[in-house]
């Protein structure tokens, strides 16, 4: 009996991770990206909202002791787990977003030669990547995320996810918006996807996210207004900490 | 990459094809907000800035569409001189937007300017949905509401749902129908608020009436609460059967180039939206904060303009 209660006391309550510069950012905001209040709303408050909801959704279930990423893996396939998946995926994506930003001009970081090479190979240049990224963001309907990912062919591509979509699994990218008028292209993609899911294959990780852009109003409404997502993206490029992005690229040499 | 090639331009255009989308009662509130619901900033986020943005982009795109004339004809007032545009009355502008949505939906199929028309469809449904939700509100607001940003403890609170009343006379048709469809006003309120809370991204919660049609008369089926997401509309009429038609088209090996199905022509029923509530994050974030959606929805309920909602009941019914 005693043992059991000890086990219980170790259950996972999800908490907001502390960012390296959090205290300074709460005071001054992120230079070039956020006011102090804007930062508080999009990270401290929103992340608190997400982890509290995630804790409430998972307590007493198999997901109780799992990390948000493990919860994503455990729930992405089941329609009945949609709400839990929402909070887990949002937790994960929002953390991914805030991990990679820095005060503008604070770090003179740049893409590593390895990353630069692969960006040039896939897009032509960094500027081309930025232009494609912006086009993808402009056509994204409603709330969501835009990712630069490395796919399983070791190529870079841009993936946009509507609402809480995750970049890791094709079947949960959520980049088809069937609530609007649909196109033949959409139907083709949908059928490929449903065939894949029907076959019951264990889906491998298709993509590893390198750059994560938050296009939810939680992230930019306070400082950029309701139509401000493109302006937010343009500021975002100057506040990107490339040292973090370089680390995210799979590096064979480090094996 | 068809999707990426359709860029929305935000540059201002000197000549405008579209009328201003104004809601008469809301016009003077830009600097004031709605008492007990929105500050001036909050109202700008959810209506003025949003509507201006949609309108400017629509203007740009209408210029580019090959179906420009068909689309613009939705805004020409046939009873007045050709070319003049009249859009002051709320129900009138909603009807015209509705017409624009149907026209854009039809021109989406097989059009040379597909990506443009698709974006026109998206923007016009956004305008329609916002217009509908904002004109469902009482511009006078509600003095007894409190607008504030709750903290994380809000997530654990319950809101007692008792003593709900609305400004409709007891014998009003709508009130009777609400009671027979949902049981009571309390149950309708609970259903509306819970449906709104379930929307995580952008979306609207609607109260709709479903009518069956025969001999140009309408017979009420029932009232329903439905959610629409992103650029969706409360009625799925425009999309009904689309998926199957496209699948059939793909199966036939794209040989049938005259692919236009008349799935819009199912006339045996009619969806009539009565009320819309904006459940998107930007509708409450600036006034109620991250934890405040529930408080916002309670305040919205107290600001619904029920006489307007009741006036949307079709006369043929």
Structure confidence by residue, pLDDT tens digits, A214-233: 999 999 999 999 999 999 99
Edge-to-edge strand list for the sheet holding B217-229: B217-229, B203-214, B269-278
CB contact under 8 A, B243 and A188: no
| pLDDT bracket for residue B63 (50, 70, 90) | confident
B20 pLDDT above the threshold of 90: no
Q: Where are the alpha helices (DSSP H) in B135-270?
A: 173-182, 185-198, 242-251
What pLDDT is stored for residue A206 in this prediction?
76
CB contact under 8 A, A182 and B242: yes
CB contact under 8 A, A218 and B285: yes
CB of B50 within 8 Å of a chain A CB? The answer is yes
Phi-psi region of B312 (alpha: psi -120 to 50; beta: other; left: phi over 0): alpha
Q: Per-residue pLDDT averaged across B50-55, rounded? A: 89
CB of A181 within 8 Å of a chain B CB? The answer is yes
Beta bridge partners of A145: A161, A214
Q: Per-residue pLDDT averaged across B234-252, rounded? A: 77
A253 pLDDT above the threshold of 50: yes
Q: Per-residue pLDDT averaged across B262-274, rounded? A: 70
Distance CA B51, CA B123 (A): 10
CB pairs under 8 A between A and B: 124
CA B147, B47, B298, B152 dihedral sign is: negative
What pLDDT is stored for residue B301 in this prediction?
95
Question: Using a CB-CB distance cutoff of 8 angstroms, which residues of chain A are in contact with residue B45?
Answer: 221, 225-226
Tell me how many degrees the CA angle B77-B80-B84 measures, rounded to the nearest 5: 60
Distance CA B142, CA B165 (A): 14
B270 pLDDT above the threshold of 60: yes
Q: Per-residue pLDDT averaged across B14-19, rounded? A: 60
Q: Percent of chain A beyond pLDDT 70? A: 91
What is the 8-class DSSP label of residue B15?
S
Question: Using a CB-CB distance cutoff of 8 angstroms, which residues of chain B are in contact with residue A189?
Answer: none
A154 pLDDT above the threshold of 50: yes
Distance CA B220, CA B217 (A): 10
Q: Per-residue pLDDT averaged across B4-18, rounded? A: 49
B81 pLDDT above the threshold of 60: no
CB of A132 within 8 Å of a chain B CB? The answer is yes
CB of B12 within 8 Å of a chain A CB? The answer is no
What is the 8-class DSSP label of residue B8?
P
Q: Tell me, letter by letter, the H, E, C secondary structure of chain A.
A: CHHHHHHHHCCCCCCCCCCCCHHHHHHHCCCCCCCHHHHHHHHHHHHHHHHHHHHHHHCCCCCCCCCHHHHHHHHCCCHHHHHHHHHHHHHHHHHHHHHCECCCCCCCCCCCHHHHHHHHHHHCCHHHHHHHHHHHHHHCCCCEEEEEEEECCCCEEEEEEECCCCCCCHHHCCCCCCCCCCCHHHHHHHHHHHHHHHCCCCCCCCEEEEEEEECCHHHHHHHHCCCCHHHHHHHHHHCECHHHHHHHCCCHHHC
Identify which has the larger pLDDT, B164 or A8: B164
What pLDDT is stored for residue B80 in this prediction?
41
* Short-list B315, B278, B316, B317, CA closest to B300: B278
Tell me how many degrees the CA angle A69-B230-B246 measures, rounded to the nearest 5: 95
Q: Quick check: helix, strand or coil at residue B202?
A: coil
Identify which has the larger pLDDT, B205 or A185: B205
CA distance to partner chain B, nearest, from residue A253 (Å): 34
Rg of chain B in Å (alpha carbons) = 21
Identify which has the larger pLDDT, A171 or A99: A99
Provide the mean pLDDT of chain B.
81
Top CATH class, B40-76+89-159+169-312: alpha beta
Beta-carbon count within 10 A of B160 CB: 5
What pLDDT is stored for residue A192 in this prediction?
85
| pLDDT bracket for residue A66 (50, 70, 90) | very high
| pLDDT bracket for residue A132 (50, 70, 90) | very high
- Over residues B171-204, the pLDDT tens digits come to 788 999 999 999 999 999 999 999 999 999 999 9
CA distance to partner chain A, nearest, from residue B308 (Å): 27
What pLDDT is stored for residue B109 in this prediction?
63
CB of B255 within 8 Å of a chain A CB? The answer is no
CB of B263 within 8 Å of a chain A CB? The answer is no
B79 pLDDT above the threshold of 70: no
What pLDDT is stored for residue B11 in this prediction?
45
- Over residues A67-86, the pLDDT tens digits come to 999 999 999 988 899 999 99
Structure tokens at A47: 């992340």
| pLDDT bracket for residue B266 (50, 70, 90) | low
| Residue indicated by tokens 């949505």 | B101
CA distance to partner chain A, nearest, from residue B94 (Å): 19
A12 contact partners, CB below 8 Å, separation of at least 6: A55, A58, A64, A65, A66, A67
CB of A179 within 8 Å of a chain B CB? The answer is yes
CB of A194 within 8 Å of a chain B CB? The answer is no
Please state which of the ranges A111-115, B96-100, B129-133 shows the lowest mean pLDDT: B96-100
A184-188, A234-238, B27-31: which has the highest mean pLDDT? Answer: A234-238
Asked if A149 and A156 count as a contact pair (C-beta separation under 8 A), the reply is: yes
What pLDDT is stored for residue B72 in this prediction?
79
Q: Quick check: helix, strand or coil at residue B205?
A: strand
CA distance to partner chain B, nearest, from residue A221 (Å): 7
Which domains does chain A carry?
Answer: 21-248 (3.55.40.20)
Q: Per-residue pLDDT averaged across A135-148, rounded? A: 95
B62 pLDDT above the threshold of 90: no
What pLDDT is stored for residue B15 in this prediction?
57
Asked if B121 and B257 count as a contact pair (C-beta separation under 8 A), the reply is: no
CA A219 to chain centre: 12
ipTM over 0.85? The verdict is yes
Residue B247 is nearest to which of A187, A216, A221, comparing CB atoms?
A: A187
Distance CA B293, CA B315 (A): 35
What pLDDT is stored for residue A152 in this prediction?
83
Question: Using a CB-CB distance cutoff of 8 angstroms, which residues of chain A are in contact with residue B8?
Answer: 138-139
CB of B231 within 8 Å of a chain A CB? The answer is yes
Q: Per-residue pLDDT averaged across A177-196, rounded? A: 84
- Over residues B25-41, the pLDDT tens digits come to 777 788 889 999 999 99
For strand A156-162 and strand A207-214, is the pairing parallel, antiparallel, or unpaired? unpaired
Residue B249 is nearest to which of A138, A139, A184, comparing CB atoms?
A: A184
CA distance to partner chain B, nearest, from residue A241 (Å): 26
What pLDDT is stored for residue B73 in this prediction?
78
Distance CA A82, CA A75 (A): 7
| pLDDT bracket for residue B91 (50, 70, 90) | low
Beta-carbon count within 10 A of A1 CB: 5
* Short-list A253, A214, A248, A240, CA closest to A115: A248
CB of B11 within 8 Å of a chain A CB? The answer is no
| pLDDT bracket for residue B67 (50, 70, 90) | confident
Could you tell me where the beta strands, DSSP code E, fall in chain B?
Answer: 203-214, 217-229, 269-278
What pLDDT is stored for residue A49 in this prediction?
97
What pLDDT is stored for residue B6 in this prediction?
44
Identify which has the larger pLDDT, A201 or B242: B242
A186 pLDDT above the threshold of 70: yes
B170 pLDDT above the threshold of 50: yes
Asked if B299 and B147 count as a contact pair (C-beta separation under 8 A), the reply is: yes
Mutation target among B239, B261, B290 for the A interface, most CBs of A within 10 A: B290
What pLDDT is stored for residue B93 in this prediction?
75
Please state which of the ranges A90-99, B122-131, B154-163, B260-269 shows the lowest mean pLDDT: B260-269
CB of A218 within 8 Å of a chain B CB? The answer is yes
CB contact under 8 A, A141 and B231: yes
What pLDDT is stored for residue A47 in this prediction?
97
CA A129 to chain centre: 18
Q: Quick check: helix, strand or coil at residue B289?
A: coil
CB of B4 within 8 Å of a chain A CB? The answer is yes
Q: Per-residue pLDDT averaged across B73-89, rounded? A: 50
Cα–Cα distances (Å) from A202 to A73, A154, A171, A198, in that order, read 11, 20, 11, 11
């Amino acid at each position: 009996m005693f043992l059991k209660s000890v086990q219980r006391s170790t259950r996972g309550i999800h908490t907001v991770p502390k960012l390296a510069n959090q205290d300074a950012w709460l005071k001054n905001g992120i230079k070039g990206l956020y006011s102090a209040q804007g930062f508080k709303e999009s990270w401290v408050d929103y992340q608190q909202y997400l982890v509290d909801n995630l804790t409430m959704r998972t307590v007493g279930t198999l997901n109780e002791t799992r990390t948000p990423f493990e919860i994503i893996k455990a729930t992405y396939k089941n329609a009945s787990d949609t709400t839990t998946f929402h909070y887990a995926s949002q937790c994960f994506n929002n953390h991914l977003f805030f991990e990679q930003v820095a005060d503008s001009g604070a770090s003179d970081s740049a893409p590593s030669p390895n990353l630069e090479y692969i960006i040039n190979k896939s897009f032509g240049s960094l500027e081309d990547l930025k232009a494609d990224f912006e086009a993808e963001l402009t056509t994204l309907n409603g709330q969501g995320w835009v990712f630069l990912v490395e796919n399983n062919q070791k190529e870079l591509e841009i993936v946009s996810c509507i609402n809480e979509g995750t970049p890791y699994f094709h079947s949960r990218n959520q980049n088809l918006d069937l609530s609007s008028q649909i196109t033949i292209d959409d139907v083709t993609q949908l059928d490929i996807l449903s065939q894949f899911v029907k076959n019951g294959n264990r889906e491998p990780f298709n993509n590893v996210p390198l750059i994560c852009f938050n296009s939810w109003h939680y992230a930019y409404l306070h400082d950029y207004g309701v139509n401000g997502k493109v302006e937010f993206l343009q500021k975002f490029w100057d506040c990107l900490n490339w040292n973090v992005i370089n680390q995210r690229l799979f590096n064979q040499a480090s094996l | 990459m068809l999707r990426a090639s359709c860029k929305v331009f935000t540059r201002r255009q000197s000549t405008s094809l579209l009328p201003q989308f104004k809601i008469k009662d809301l016009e003077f509130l830009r600097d004031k907000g709605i008492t007990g619901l929105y500050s001036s900033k909050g109202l700008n986020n959810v209506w003025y800035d949003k509507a201006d943005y949609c309108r400017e982009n629509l203007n740009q795109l209408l210029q580019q569409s090959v179906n420009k004339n068909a689309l613009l004809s939705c805004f020409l007032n046939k009873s007045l001189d050709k070319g003049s545009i009249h859009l002051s009355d709320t129900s009138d502008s909603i009807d015209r937007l509705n017409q624009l949505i149907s026209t854009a939906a039809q021109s989406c199929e097989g059009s040379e300017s597909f990506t443009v028309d698709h974006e026109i469809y998206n923007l016009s449904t956004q305008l329609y949905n916002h217009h509908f939700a904002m004109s469902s509100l009482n511009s006078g607001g509600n003095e007894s509401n409190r607008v504030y940003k709750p903290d994380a403890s809000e997530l654990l609170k319950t809101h007692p749902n008792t003593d709900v009343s609305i400004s409709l006379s007891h014998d009003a048709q709508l009130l009777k129908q609400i009671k027979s469809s949902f049981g009571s006003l309390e149950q309708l309120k609970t259903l509306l608020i819970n449906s709104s809370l379930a929307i995580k991204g952008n979306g609207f919660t609607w109260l709709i009436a479903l009518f069956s049609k025969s001999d140009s008369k309408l017979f009420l089926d029932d009232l329903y609460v439905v959610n629409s997401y992103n650029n969706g509309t409360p009625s799925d009429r425009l999309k009904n059967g689309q998926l199957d038609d496209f699948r059939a088209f793909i199966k036939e090996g794209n040989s049938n180039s005259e692919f236009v199905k008349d799935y819009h022509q199912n006339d045996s029923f009619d969806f009539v939206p009565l009320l819309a509530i904006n459940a998107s994050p930007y509708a409450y974030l600036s006034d109620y904060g991250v934890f405040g959606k529930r408080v916002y929805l309670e305040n919205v309920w107290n600001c619904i303009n029920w006489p307007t909602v009741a006036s949307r009941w079709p006369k043929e019914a």
